[in-house]
Structures are given as C-alpha cells and as structure tokens.
Structure 1
Amino acid sequence: MTAQPPEPSPRPAPPGELRASHDDREAVVEQLRDAAAEGRIDLDELDSRLEQALTSRTYAELAVLTADLPRVGSPRSMPPLVLKGGMHGASRGPGCWDVPGHVVARGGMGGVKLDFTRTRCRLAEVAVEAHGEMAGVTIVIPDSWAVDTTGMDPGIGGLKDRTTPDRLPGTPLIRLTGSGGMAGVVIRHPGRWERRKLRGNPA
C-alpha cells in the first residue's frame, strides 16, 4: 500500500487578512467620528466611511479607512502643550490629562506650575522646555519618574533639581531644556501637602 504524502499545513494568513472583531470595527468608527469633529473629513465622507467600517471583514479593509488620519490619542500626534504665566500665572495638573511629547512653560510675570502627578503618559521621554522669566516655573513629577537637565541653561535664577534618580522601568524621562531666566526653574517630586491631597483624593 503506497503511503500518502502528508497534507501541507495551512499557511497563516497575513496580518491584514485576519478577521476583524466588533471591537476593532467600533474603534475605527470612533476614530472616524473624531476626525469629522476636527474637520479632517466632511459629513458625506464620514457616512461613507462609517458604512464601510461596519461592513469590513478584515484588518486590511479597516486600515484603508484611517490610513490618511492621525492615530487617535497618539501622544506624538498631539500638538505641544504651551503654558504662559502672563500677569496672573498658569498651571496644569495635578489630575488626569494626556501628556504630549513636547511641553513649553514660560513663567512670565505670574509664574507657571506644571504637575505631572496622575497624568496619562505613554511616552518613554517627554521634552519640557521651561523658561523661568520673571516669576519662575515649577515642575512636579511622580517619584518613579526621572529628569535629564543637561540641556538646561540655569540663567540668573538658577535651576533647582530636587528629584531622585530612582526611575522605575517603563516610566517616562523628562528631558528638560530652556533657561532659568530671572526667577529660575524648579523640578521636584510632590511635597508633603501635595501628597496629603493626593491621598485624600485617590485616583
């Protein structure tokens, strides 16, 4: 009896040909709606793409619908965050906000406080450009984060780095540049009062 040759094992489908799930389609629908709200596509195109998204069967079919759109929520696609102290000061945080790849803080006459505690950050590094100017800039980072200040010009006001080098794996590095100006720049971890407030308001 002649032995039959073994049947060839099925080849895995290319990634683009894998079947899309309901969640995959819903994620694309949300991205398309956000794009329309931002004025990237008009309402007629939105309707057309939504219809295609809901009937798409594979990843490749879904990818075509968002190929010309920035990735939703991608920190690299977010515009820089710019804080200007002006006459009355400015602040951001603490709280739950998305950290972009580039932040600019200008102390002006009123000062700026930039607090990264409890932020959502998916970047390995964040470029922070701080200019103390007349009233100074204060930056607060979580205990697990670290900072590189080698690109910073202390100016007349100086740079005070009160952080520890105990950076945990997978946490961001703040790469600080700019100038201390007249009033200086301070980067530190939360103080006693700030820690008390954080404990009293759990995330």
Structure 2
Amino acid sequence: MTAQPPEPSPRPAPSAELRASHDDREAVVEQLRDAAADGRIDLDELDARLEQALRSRTYAELAVLTADLPSPKSSESRPPLVLKGGMHGASRGPGRWEVPGHVIARGGMGGVKIDFSRTECRLTEVVVEAYGETAGVTIVIPDAWAADTSGMDPGFGGVKDKTTPDRLPGTPLIRLTGAGGMAGVVVRHPNRWERRKLRSNPTHG
C-alpha cells in the first residue's frame, strides 16, 4: 500500500510574543469601535479597551482585547464590484459605500464614474480594473489617497493621473489595471464643484 504524502501544514499564526505593529493595533482599534457600534460592548468598556490596545506591545496583549468578539468582516474577501457603463452610464458614490478589494469598471457607451470621496476604506490597496472603451472611466479619490497607473495599457484614449503623491499613512493605494480604450481613464482628486459639495454637506451618507 502506497503511503500518502503528508498534507501541507497550514500557515502558522503569528507568535503571541511577537511585537505588534502600528497597523496591528489600528486593526484592533477598528474592531473594538465596530463592536461598540453593534452594541456588543458599552462606551466605558470601549474606552478602557482602546487605551489598552494603544499600549499593547505584543500579539498576545492585543488578542485578549478581542477574544470575546466575532472576527472582523474582511473587505478583501468580498466579490468584485462590477460597473458597466452600457448605454446610459453607471456610477458608484459619492455616498458612503463599502469598498471591496477589487473593482471592475467598463466604460461602454455611457461611461463610468467611481467616487471614493466619502468612503471609509480599511484596505491598504484597492485594485481598480478599468476599461475606458467608448465613453471612458473617471475615478475620484480623496486628497490623502494615492494612485498607481503603471499597470495600465493607455490605448488610444490614454490614462491621465491627476493625483498628488502625498499619500497619508494608513490610507489606501488605488492600483489601476486595464486599458484606456478609445475614451481613456482619468484618476483625480475632487474638483472645485465636488469640494464645495463635500464642504456644504460633510456628513452626507
């Protein structure tokens, strides 16, 4: 009887005594805030746990703070968001919406606009697969975010990156792939009109 090869062992979890990073602490802080918003812990307990999270130095110290809470939902595991311009166009935003790790935008005849201005994205990177096609794709990102268009095929319409490289720590990088097509792909920060709208109604959902 032929012996079966051993099954590959799962990737080990971080050792409890390993030092935690700023991102590790921030992830626990967000999980605690979500738990308070869901009513799982009260505000006094939230304050105490947040203070402890910011002082934690190891994975073990952080794990204690979330041991009685459900695992956070991962945006990376969400299916891709697909937007097709078709004949009449398509858009997402500027209201608050949950950002998946992968967005696919096809300009079609009507064009596509993706506005991240009001989103609260916890991912370090979002891949936007954009195809300008006939009417183009426009992507609007907050000033603190940055974009990388090096993976794009400019096509006939080209790729215009009007963003600044001043990305703040902890904010997402929008990594563009795809092709400009006939009409092109534009990634930019909010324009004057959009900024005025954001200032006049900053809490709009």
Measured against the shorter chain, the TM-score band is 0.5 to 0.7
Which residue number corresponds to residue 52 of structure 1? none
Pairs aligned (count)? 146
Structure showing greater radius of gyration is 1
1:73, CA displacement in angstroms?
3.1
Pair 1:84-2:68 in alignment: no
* Distance in 1 between residues matched to 2:39 and 2:78, nearest whole Å: 22
User: 1:164 is paired with a residue of what secondary structure?
Assistant: coil
Shift of 1:72: 5.6
Kindly provide the amino acid, as one letter, of the partner of residue 160 in structure 2. Answer: K
Distance 2:188 2:136 in 1: 14
CA distance in 2, matches of 1:110, 1:175: 23
CA offset digits 1:55-93 (Å, max 9, x no partner):
xxxx88x79xx8xxxx56310121111000000000000
Separation of aligned partners in 1, 2:72 and 2:104: 22
String of CA shifts for 1:76-128, please: whole Å, max 9, x gaps: 12111100000000000001111100000000000000000110201000011
Alignment match, 1:167: 167
- After the TM superposition, which segments of 4 or more aligned residues of structure 1 sit over 4 Å from their partners? 23-27
Q: Does the residue aligned with 1:108 lie in a helix, a strand or coil?
A: coil
Report SS of the residue matched to 1:114: strand
Identity %: 74
> In the alignment, does 2:94 pair up with 1:94?
yes
TM-aligned CA distance change 1:72 to 1:86, over 3 Å: farther
Cα separation, 2, equivalents of 1:136 and 1:202? 28
Residue 195 of structure 1 corresponds to which residue in structure 2? 195
Cα distance in 2 for partners of 1:202, 1:147 equals: 23
Give the gaps of 5 or more residues in structure 1: 1-13, 15-22, 28-58
Q: TM (normalized to structure 1)?
A: 0.66
* CA distance in structure 2 between the partners assigned to 1:145 and 1:159 by the alignment: 18
Please give the alpha-carbon distance, in whole angstroms, between the structure 1 residues aligned to 2:115 and 2:73. 20
Change (3 A) 1:26 1:105: same
| Deviation readout 1:15-71 (Å, 9 max, x if unpaired) | xxxxxxxx69976xxxxxxxxxxxxxxxxxxxxxxxxxxxxxxx88x79xx8xxxx5
Query: What is the DSSP-based 3-state SS (H/G/I as helix, E as strand, rest coil) of the residue aligned with 1:113?
Result: strand
Cα distance between partner residues in 2 of 1:100 and 1:72: 14
Which residue in 2 is equivalent to 1:134? 134
Which residue identity is paired with 1:156? F
User: In structure 2, what is the equivalent of residue 124 of structure 1?
Assistant: 124
Which residue does the alignment assign to 1:183? 183
